[in-house]
Amino acid sequence: PHSTELYEDAPSACWPIVYSPDYNITFMGLEKLHPFDAGKWGKVINFLKEEKLIADDLIVQAREATDEDLLVVHTRRYLNKLKWSFVVATITEIPPVAFLPNFVVQRKVLKPLRTQTGGTIMAGKLAVDRGWAINVGGGFHHCSSDKGGGFCAYADITLAIKFLFERVQGVSKATIIDLDAHQGNGHERDFMDDHRVYIMDVYNRYIYPGDGFAK
């Protein structure tokens, strides 16, 4: 039995675009210590609003993935590791995070990432219902079931696909097209022995993560 809150039907008036203001990570400027822009999701939405292309009530509101949802892919051991701030500091590559109490790390860093993960799972079902969908966040392609890295703490791509395989009738194959400059070693590790999933990954092999095993 799984909680299916992420699979509740979205309002029909909404576009299949999933987002929440909770995606954005802001905490005393610490987020600026990483080259990755941890507020970029809000900037995308604001740009689209300024151009009058979307409005708040046309967007599907993302919900946070629960532990129960995450355990569809993640090991309990891995989720427990995220209760150590220094582990999250290593994954997000923001060293000062190691010195913050974990309840702060959970609320300010991991909750936004869990909400984006929920958004990817929701977008998977929406895409089947509507023919297409976009999650403005997510795409954490360095995270696998038992290991995070490169700013990716949850395996949202693996989760979205496993949810579809397990809960939506008629979905028996998936293709991941990964065009980020870095190798998507997380989903590659997760689906290594799963012939239902075809992965096309275009990346610069000379930079992070250099995961020969996943390749």
**What is the rounded CA–CA span in Å between residue 189 and residue 187?**
5
Residue 74 annotated among the catalytic residues of the structure: no
Exactly one of 141, 142, 182, 187 is catalytic; which is it? Answer: 142
Q: Annotated catalytic sites, by residue?
A: 142
